[in-house]
Amino acid sequence: DAGVIQSPRHEVTEMGQEVTLRCKPISGHDYLFWYRQTMMRGLELLIYFNNNVPIDDSGMPEDRFSAKMPNASFSTLKIQPSEPRDSAVYFCASSRKTGVSNQPQHFGDGTRLSIL
């Protein structure tokens, strides 16, 4: 089975530009998570969805960040306008919940974002 697929793998853009990161979760998974990883702050949960509905976006840094999940097989994380401090690796992960058991999250390979 294909894992979580993220695109692009690398993105370099200038400050002020709009950035869109994409994620395709594993088929059948009903949870989708967006994380940001930096040396300074480690791994941070930005937002997560359940059945395409945003459940908790308290980790989104500010209004410049937005995330959508228009269907079960696709999600985007958008930064507009981008700033140098947004430079990080952004991960998408998906999982499913069966009964009362929490199944492990499966991570994509990440998008390495550099804002100049």
Specify whether the CB–CB gap between 10 and 111 falls below 8 A.
yes
Question: What residues form DSSP beta bridges with 44?
Answer: 36
φ, ψ at 41 (rounded to 5°):
-110, -5
Q: How far is the CB of 93 from other proteins (least distance, A)?
A: 8
Binder to other proteins among 26, 36, 48, 60 (CB under 8 A)? Answer: 48
Q: How far is the CB of 11 from other proteins (least distance, A)?
A: 15
Using the rule CB under 8 A, is 27 a contact of other proteins? no
User: Which residue is it, tokens 């998570």?
Assistant: 33
Report CA torsion sign: 59, 91, 22, 52. negative
Binder to other proteins among 21, 24, 75, 105 (CB under 8 A)? Answer: 105
Q: How many residues belong to the site for other proteins (CB under 8 A)?
A: 26
Q: How far is the CB of 104 from other proteins (least distance, A)?
A: 4
Distance CA(23)–CA(67), nearest Å, equals 11
Specify whether the CB–CB gap between 19 and 8 falls below 8 A.
no
Contact stretch for other proteins (CB under 8 A) within 15-23, 60-68, 70-78, 94-102: 94-102
Residues found near other proteins in the complex (CB under 8 A): 4, 31, 33, 42-43, 45, 48, 50, 55-56, 91, 93, 95-97, 100-110
